[in-house]
Copies of this chain bind each other. A is one copy, B any other.
């Protein structure tokens, strides 16, 4: 089966590029003695999670329990969920999952630790808990290294939990700040007689500077497998590294400078990350996808010398690859122009 046999819109994954991206970062991390624990949110596919482990990853990262359950069902055995697991329903699922495979989670409050401690009371297998640290991102996380150590002590004092270290999702561009924060937390933990075995750093935008965060023991890249327009803007990769594209058809050419494609926000998502436009059209790099409706992408062709015609197909590198994976029931794996396989996105839509 060839690309030309596919109907549109469709998500194409260039498996050769994806594999090269995985190998490149693993080799970099190996060279710096840094462990890799990839975030599967980008691909949501067991086959790529397994390939990441095969290449040397120490395990995988899932953002939600539902994703981890899918990956455990597929045979993954070491999963980190860097999330505050709250409420009886989720805690019961967490205990069940921990009884099957190796699980670690994060906490950024005594309230979260208290829930975990109650759920794991009397457990045969203590649960690894890392303290989530806000080293600059401004999302979850304790606010200071001292607060990190204080929460580590709370975890350490809860009998069936095991303090395992520190975790951060850092602010893009904040490498020195992140390193200083984590190094301070590490030192203060040691001073308090605690052992932060794992110091887990994350993110793809600054992944080639991961070795500068010397306090970290592992890195959790996600988007690196597919790359996207934002990662290229951040110089994490080049256009030729981008493995995920959305195949679309030009369905309308209402004016000389306007085209409309059959991929809108239901295919590309509305994520902009502050950039102009909603993706890069591979065949028409000077075109601008100026607006999206759910099923229409409107394109300004003013800057293009060559212009597409109705029925032409184009491939779009989206602003954000991860959210595109979440919009499609299946993705098409390709090698060159050849369709290799069609893969259901097994962990799609697992928000809980």
- Say whether B254 contacts A134, CB under 8 Å: yes
Distance, CA A274 to CA B112, complexed state (A): 35
**Which of A15-23, A173-181, A326-334 lies at the interface?**
A326-334
Cβ of A252 < 8 Å from any Cβ of B?
yes
A294 touches B41 (CB 8 A): yes
CB-based contact B271/A265 at 8 Å: yes
Q: A255 near B: Cβ within 8 Å?
A: yes
> Which A1-52 residues have a C-beta within 8 angstroms of B?
7-10, 41
Say whether A249 contacts B87, CB under 8 Å: yes
Number of interface residues, chain A, beta carbon within 8 A: 60
Contact check, B294 vs A323: say whether CB atoms are below 8 A apart: yes
Q: Contact: A111 with B63, CB < 8 Å?
A: no
**A45 CB → nearest B CB, Å:** 16
Is residue A322 within 8 Å, beta carbon to beta carbon, of the partner chain?
A: yes
A64 touches B295 (CB 8 A): yes
How far apart are the CA atoms of A265 and B90 in the complex, in Å?
20
- Chain B residue nearest to A329 in the complex (CB): B349
- State whether B267 touches A270 (Cβ < 8 A): no
- Tell me, yes or no, whether A351 is within 8 Å of chain B by CB: yes
A298 interfacial by beta-carbon distance below 8 Å: yes
- Please tell me how many copies of the chain the complex holds: 2
Chain B residue at smallest Cβ distance from A352: B7
User: CB distance B140 to A296 under 8 Å?
Assistant: yes
Instruction: Give the distance in Å from the alpha carbon of A352 to the alpha carbon of B330 in the complex.
Output: 12
Across the interface, do B349 and A328 meet the contact criterion of CB distance under 8 Å? yes
User: Contact between B83 and A140 (Cβ–Cβ < 8 Å)?
Assistant: no
Q: Please give the residue numbers on chain A whose beta carbons come within 8 Å of chain B beta carbons, in ascending order.
A: 7-10, 41, 63-64, 83-84, 86-87, 89-90, 108-109, 111-112, 115, 134, 138-143, 249, 251-255, 258, 260, 262-263, 265-267, 269-272, 291, 293-296, 298, 309-311, 322-323, 326-329, 349, 351-352
Residue ID in chain B nearest A41 by CB atoms: B294
Query: How far is B304's CA from A223's CA once the two chains are assembled, in angstroms?
Result: 36
Docked complex Cα distance between A262 and B9 (Å): 30
11 contacts between A and B (CB under 8 A): A7-B87, A9-B352, A41-B295, A83-B251, A84-B251, A84-B310, A87-B311, A139-B298, A142-B254, A263-B351, A327-B349
Q: From A264, which residue of chain B is reached at the shortest CB distance?
A: B351
Complex CA gap A133/B168 in Å reads: 51
Q: How far is the CB of A266 from chain B (nearest CB, A)?
A: 5
B323 touches A351 (CB 8 A): no
Contact (Cβ within 8 A) A140 B63: no
- Known pairs A252-B108, A351-B328; A83 contacts B295 (CB<8 A): yes
A296–B185 Cα gap in the complex (Å)? Answer: 24
A89 B143 Cβ-Cβ under 8 A = no
A86 in contact with B249 (CB, 8 Å): yes
A253–B295 Cα distance when bound, in Å, is: 37
The docked-state distance in angstroms from the alpha carbon of A111 to that of B312 is 12
* A141–B326 CB distance below 8 A: no
